[in-house]
């Protein structure tokens, strides 16, 4: 069996244990990944005892309670708190998701919270999404059309509009891409499920006039065909979308065009 050893400065250590000071009898332990690059120290797992009697229902509420009442140094992204922006994407109980929509009651035992896998960690639960955004930009996610009459709508049929269902709802939270082993191994070249789903959204838009060029742009052994249909992306999507199906559709279009 192959044994892989982490570099000494990457080994996760046991961190600080924060005991409850409220006297509550409804306590849950929350284990959170912590790393501050400015400290020069190894990453660690801090454990917090949280009074669940005075905590709303989502994992993000637990993190907010920790930051507001126990440890203000905890860093994570958050914004809308309604599953719309994708800011609070992280790994909870071993699965990627949105902290603002994940009920902590669904997690049995301790609540374990980590940053999204594969990404470089900027601090604590904040992953570096700069590569993902550059890849997103590379598929030119905007309408390309020669129709420039601002006084007239660019119409499409109801049937054509339905083709965008399950695509336009993507919020680029990166839960799917960071659950994909192919993206872990080739993240600098493989576009990943989130970006390929977005690419397909514009490829099938009946109003767009650049379909052939869009297909040509992703028709690459590394950009597209590193997808091995593992399906982790579809399982991880907090919006219930199917990136694997979108990728398969692009492959089919290239094979039959």
Statement to judge: residues 171 and 116 lie in one domain: no
Q: Hey, is 122 helix, strand or coil?
A: strand
pLDDT, one tens digit per residue, over 123-165 is 999 999 999 999 999 999 999 998 777 788 888 999 999 999 9
Q: Is residue 1 part of a domain?
A: no
Domain hosting residue 237, numbered range: 130-146+155-256
Statement to judge: residues 221 and 236 lie in one domain: yes
Tally of structural domains, the chain: 2
* Cβ atoms within 10 Å of 74's Cβ, excluding its own: 19
CA pair distance 214, 18, nearest whole angstrom: 52
Q: Is residue 3 part of a domain?
A: no
* pLDDT number for residue 149: 73
pLDDT, one tens digit per residue, over 13-36 is 999 999 999 999 999 999 999 999
Statement to judge: residues 85 and 191 lie in one domain: no
Measuring CA to CA, which residue among 250, 247, 174, 242 is closest to residue 212? Answer: 250
Statement to judge: residues 120 and 18 lie in one domain: yes
Statement to judge: residues 87 and 100 lie in one domain: yes
* pLDDT number for residue 82: 93
- On whether the CB atoms of residues 197 and 170 are closer than 8 A, the answer is yes
CA pair distance 23, 257, nearest whole angstrom: 67
CATH number for position 46: 3.10.20.30
pLDDT, one tens digit per residue, over 55-113 is 999 999 999 999 999 999 999 999 999 999 999 999 999 999 999 999 999 999 999 99
Statement to judge: residues 118 and 195 lie in one domain: no
pLDDT, one tens digit per residue, over 183-213 is 999 999 999 999 999 999 999 999 999 999 9
CATH number for position 141: 1.10.1060.10
Q: Is residue 208 part of a domain?
A: yes
């Amino acid at each position: 069996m192959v044994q892989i050893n982490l570099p000494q400065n990457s080994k996760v250590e046991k961190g600080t244990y924060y005991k409850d000071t409220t006297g509550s009898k409804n306590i849950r332990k929350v284990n959170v990944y912590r790393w501050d690059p400015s400290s020069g120290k190894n990453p660690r797992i801090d454990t917090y005892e949280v009074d669940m009697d005075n905590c709303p229902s989502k994992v993000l509420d637990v993190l907010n309670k920790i930051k507001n009442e126990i440890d203000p140094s905890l860093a994570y992204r958050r914004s809308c708190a309604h599953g719309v922006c994708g800011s609070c994407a992280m790994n909870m109980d071993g699965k990627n998701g949105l902290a603002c929509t994940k009920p902590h009651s669904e997690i049995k035992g301790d609540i374990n919270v980590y940053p999204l896998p594969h990404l470089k960690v900027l601090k604590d639960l904040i992953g570096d999404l700069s590569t993902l955004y550059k890849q997103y930009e590379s598929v030119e996610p905007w309408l390309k059309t020669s129709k420039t009459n601002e006084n007239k709508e660019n119409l499409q049929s109801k049937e054509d509009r339905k083709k965008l269902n399950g695509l336009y709802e993507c919020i680029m939270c990166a839960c799917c891409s960071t659950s994909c082993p192919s993206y872990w191994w080739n993240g600098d070249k493989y576009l990943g499920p989130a970006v390929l789903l977005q690419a397909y959204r514009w490829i099938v838009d009946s109003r767009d006039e650049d379909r052939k060029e869009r297909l040509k742009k992703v028709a690459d052994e590394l950009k597209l065909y590193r997808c091995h249909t593992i399906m982790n992306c579809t399982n991880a999507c907090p919006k219930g979308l199917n990136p694997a199906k979108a990728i398969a559709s692009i492959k089919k279009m290239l094979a039959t065009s």
